[in-house]
Amino acid sequence: MKQPINVQARTVEAQPPALNLGDLYYIFFRHKWMILVIFLAGIAGAAGFYLTKPPVYESEAKILIRYILENKGATPAPGTPSGSLVMSPDSRGENIVNSEIQILTSLDLAGQVADLIGPEKILAKMGGGNDRNRAAAVIRNGLIVDVPQHSNILRILFRHPDPSMTQPILSQLVDSYFKRHVEIHQGVGALDDFFSRQADQLRSRLSQTEDDLKKLRTDTQILSLEENKHTVMAERERIEQDLFSAEAELAEQTTALNALQKLFPTQPSLVQTTTNTLVPSEVVDRYRALGVQLNDLKKQRSELQFHFTDEHPAVKRLNEQITLVESEKRRLTEEHPTAASMAPVPQAVANGGKSETDPATQYLRVSSLEAKIKVLTNQLEQVRSTANRVIEAEPAITQLQRKRDVDEASYRYYVSSLEQARVDESVGAGKITNIGVVQTPSPPARDIRALLKPVGGILAFGLFGGLALALLIEKFLDQTLKRVSDIERLVRLPVFVSVPDLVWQNGHARFSKLSRNGHSSSNGHSSKAAGTTATNGNGNASAMVENQAEVAPWDAQHKLRSYFEGLRDRLITYFEVRDLTHKPKLVAVTSCNRGAGVTTMAAGLAATLSETGDGNVLLVDMNLDRGVAHPFHQGKPGCALSEALENATRDPAQVQDNLYLVTAYETKNDKLPRVLPKRFAHLIPRMKSSDYDYIIFDMPPITQTSVTPRLAGFMDMVIVVIESGTTGQEIVKRANRLLNESRANVAVVLNKHRAYVPARFNQEL
């Protein structure tokens, strides 16, 4: 009977939980009387505070700080007394001015003023006594010092309850401040001994640092750290470059020699030509290698002499190496006199030319290159050793130099300060403070501003305290659903119609007057259905004794008639949009608590549906299923649901054209199951074959034990009536979860809604 519907069609789009303008309007107008009472209480409290607060009097003075003279400056500024350092306030009146504020507000200065004025006079109107510390605290607490923007003027305010003491205390405070300023900034002779001791200590420390630096340079043979580093790096780069060139040339000459020996295998080598002599071949080779090495060293020395003097360490090392090679060559000559004639240095090797085709010449060139590489390798090791020595000594030398510079700067500072202090002491510096009085302490006047802050705080509490309390109640303490926006935002269920509380709208009267016959009825939330005597499980009158003075929900005179019609139209539109054309359509009306107005809504909906002319409408009271008295209509016994499904036996259930009212009680001849869900399941086929267009069920409230969630699965629509301001949002959420387990389509009717917001501010339809 029920077509599957997308779950998204049964919910509304989630709205952000933040407050919007409509929420603020609702909170304000709903709690307007509480807010007004709290605001009036704030006004009364502010007025009481103003009238009961003892008066306070104030006096004002202003002083100008042109600049500050510090007596212990290291370097005097041009045009200032010797030994004085000028410090001016910046463009915002900060820095130096702030230090003067600290002097003015110090407890020591307040104590001096208390001693001069007398504690008993200061405390005369504050409880009396002669406690000096208490009097000093009163002076400091009553003192306010500020700096006007972009100025170096101090504005001094002093507050005291005794008008006769306000001006004298401030005058004495300004005078004492001048003396205290001179003592702090321009004291003479207090630091002379300190400067002298510091200068002696720094002098001794500087001498010791110089001795340590001299000893370290002597041990490491480093006169200038930067110059030595530059020389070592340059020499290392040169030797490495020569070594790379020699190794490359050696590889070239060795390859050429091997090639020549293959081309001229019969040509005697240089060594073979000398085998017939008395000189060994290795001596001849050594003599030739020494000649080549000596030529290379002399060439290197010539290149260095273009850049350095003969005293340079690199030039000295080359001279030493040349001397060693020459002495070795002389030794070989003395031991083998014929070695010089047998082993002349080839012209190609001596001139640095290219190798010729003579294998002997190539052999000599290879030997000389090997000797050269060996010498260059030894030189590189020596240079690296020197570089390591410089690197190891650099931190110690740098640290000593840095320490010497710091000690020297400190020593000069203290010596200069000591000399300035002696000069200042001789000329009597510090007698002029460069601080002028712009305004002397004014006569006492009552301080109104001291009352503005607490009075304003009380008024602000009265104004915003009520709003904050109302917000606290609405958002945290009162968790009931009161508006359509609350349901859509918090529960996310569609609201078909919002029914107002007519009793509340008519001045909180119990009964409202009808415009036609003067009959009285309830506000429509628990109205009476004429023709029955039983009461439903919701606490509302679903069946009442026949009484012409009562207006039933299906009567045209009922004050909620327009809302019943609106609910009908929303329900029909819902079915049409979702293409639900089967008959009958089953609609359940229930609630989450008793007294929400379920019976009224069910009866009114059934009555308006019966007036469409599409077919019959059956209203079923599902609350009479357990031993309830048999219903009667117009003095005749009413019929049960099973009887109303038969055309021949349903006449007693007819209330008006196309509208029938029955209950779910059991008849004597009823053979259906007694358990209501099973009984209902057996009635479903008979409902389908009936001629009813709509069957409206007045269901019990949704609880954990009620049958409503179980039967909701048989319904095409379940309408939950929520009583505004009574039903909690968590209860509705739990009820919605129970209904969702039965895959029921759920909509909401908000009943007894109170419109606190005026029409022009209302943000809801």
Residues 630 and 728 in one domain: yes
The CATH number of the domain holding residue 646 is 3.40.50.300
For residues 627 and 637, what is the distance between their CA atoms, to the nearest angstrom?
Answer: 16
Q: What is the DSSP letter of 181?
A: H
Residue 215 lies in a domain: no
Question: Which residue carries 């003479």 as its tokens?
Answer: 188
Structure tokens at 407: 């000690």
Q: What is the pLDDT of residues 342-358, one digit of tens each?
A: 555 444 444 444 445 55
Residues 578 and 711 in one domain: yes
Residues 435 and 459 in one domain: no
Sign of the alpha-carbon torsion through 384, 388, 391, 397: negative
Residue type, 695: I
CA angle 246, 247, 250 (to 5 degrees): 85
CA 367 distance to own-chain centroid:
78
Pairing state between β 435-439 and 57-65? antiparallel
Q: What is the DSSP letter of 147?
A: -
Phi, psi dihedral angles at 718 (to 5 degrees): -115, 120
pLDDT mean values, one per 10 residues, the chain (765 residues): 44 58 84 91 88 86 78 45 53 67 90 92 88 92 87 88 91 89 64 70 81 73 68 78 79 72 54 48 75 81 78 81 85 73 49 50 71 79 75 74 81 76 52 73 83 84 88 86 87 91 63 36 40 38 35 73 91 91 91 90 90 83 55 49 69 77 64 62 80 90 88 92 90 92 92 84 73
The CATH number of the domain holding residue 83 is 3.30.1890
| Dihedral angle, C-alpha 466, 467, 469, 470, nearest 10 ° | 110
Sign of the alpha-carbon torsion through 591, 596, 600, 604: negative
Total residue count of the chain as it appears in this document: 765
Residue 133 lies in a domain: yes
pTM for this one?
Answer: 0.50
Residue type, 508: H
Q: What is the DSSP letter of 666?
A: P
Beta carbons within 10 angstroms of residue 724's beta carbon: 23
Beta carbons within 10 angstroms of residue 187's beta carbon: 12
| 89 close to 434: Cβ distance less than 8 angstroms | no
Residues 578 and 493 in one domain: yes
CA angle 102, 104, 107 (to 5 degrees): 85
For residues 574 and 5, what is the distance between their CA atoms, to the nearest angstrom?
Answer: 11
CA angle 307, 313, 318 (to 5 degrees): 80
Structure tokens at 179: 């003396």
Q: What is the DSSP letter of 98?
A: H
Residues 107 and 242 in one domain: no
Output the pLDDT for position 338: 65
For residues 165 and 344, what is the distance between their CA atoms, to the nearest angstrom?
Answer: 119
Pairing state between β 520-521 and 512-513? antiparallel
| Cβ burial, residue 377 (10 Å; 0-12/13-18/19+) | middle
Residues 488 and 593 in one domain: yes
| 293 close to 375: Cβ distance less than 8 angstroms | yes
> What are the b/e assignments for 35-44, b being 16+ CB within 10 Å?
beebbeebee
Residue 312 lies in a domain: yes
For residues 151 and 677, what is the distance between their CA atoms, to the nearest angstrom?
Answer: 89
Residues 325 and 442 in one domain: no
- Tally of structural domains, the chain: 4
Residue 208 lies in a domain: no
Residue type, 676: L
Residue 83 lies in a domain: yes
Determine the angle formed by the axes of helices 561-577 and 598-610, rounding to 10 degrees.
70
Residue 204 lies in a domain: no
Structure tokens at 72: 């212990």
Output the pLDDT for position 649: 63
Beta carbons within 10 angstroms of residue 592's beta carbon: 22
Output the pLDDT for position 414: 75
For residues 161 and 121, what is the distance between their CA atoms, to the nearest angstrom?
Answer: 12
Q: Determine the structural domain holding residue 296 and report its residue range.
A: 225-417
* H/E segment holding residue 460: helix 449-472
| 656 close to 700: Cβ distance less than 8 angstroms | no
| 88 close to 67: Cβ distance less than 8 angstroms | yes
> What are the b/e assignments for 505-528, b being 16+ CB within 10 Å?
eeeeeeebeeeeeeeebbbbbbbb
Q: How far is CA 730 from CA 289, 483, 727, 733, 737, in A?
A: 107, 15, 9, 5, 11
Strand ranges across the sheet with 495-500: 495-500, 746-753, 717-723, 585-591, 692-698, 616-621, 659-663, 654-656
Beta carbons within 10 angstroms of residue 458's beta carbon: 21
* H/E segment holding residue 194: helix 192-220
Residues 110 and 124 in one domain: yes
Q: What is the three-class DSSP state of 143?
A: strand
For residues 545 and 528, what is the distance between their CA atoms, to the nearest angstrom?
Answer: 9
* H/E segment holding residue 220: helix 192-220
Residue 123 lies in a domain: yes
Q: What is the three-class DSSP state of 589?
A: strand
Asked if residue 454 has a cis previous peptide bond (ω within 30° of 0), the answer is no
Task: Outline where DSSP puts E strands in 566-653.
Answer: 585-591, 616-621, 632-633, 636-637
For residues 7 and 236, what is the distance between their CA atoms, to the nearest angstrom?
Answer: 86
| 597 close to 720: Cβ distance less than 8 angstroms | no
Residue 512 lies in a domain: no
Beta carbons within 10 angstroms of residue 84's beta carbon: 24
CA 180 distance to own-chain centroid:
46
Q: What is the pLDDT of residues 191-216, one digit of tens each?
A: 566 677 777 788 888 888 877 777 77
Question: Helices (DSSP H) in 512-615: which residue ranges?
Answer: 561-577, 598-610
Residue type, 670: D
580's CB contacts (< 8 A; 6+ apart) are 3, 716
Question: Which residue carries 């309007």 as its tokens?
Answer: 25
CA-nearest of 743, 740, 727, 511 to 598 is: 727
* H/E segment holding residue 174: helix 163-185
| 46 close to 455: Cβ distance less than 8 angstroms | yes
Residues 570 and 651 in one domain: yes
Structure tokens at 78: 């041009």
| 693 close to 584: Cβ distance less than 8 angstroms | yes
Residues 245 and 318 in one domain: yes
| 350 close to 295: Cβ distance less than 8 angstroms | yes
Residues 572 and 692 in one domain: yes
Residues 362 and 438 in one domain: no
Residue type, 421: A
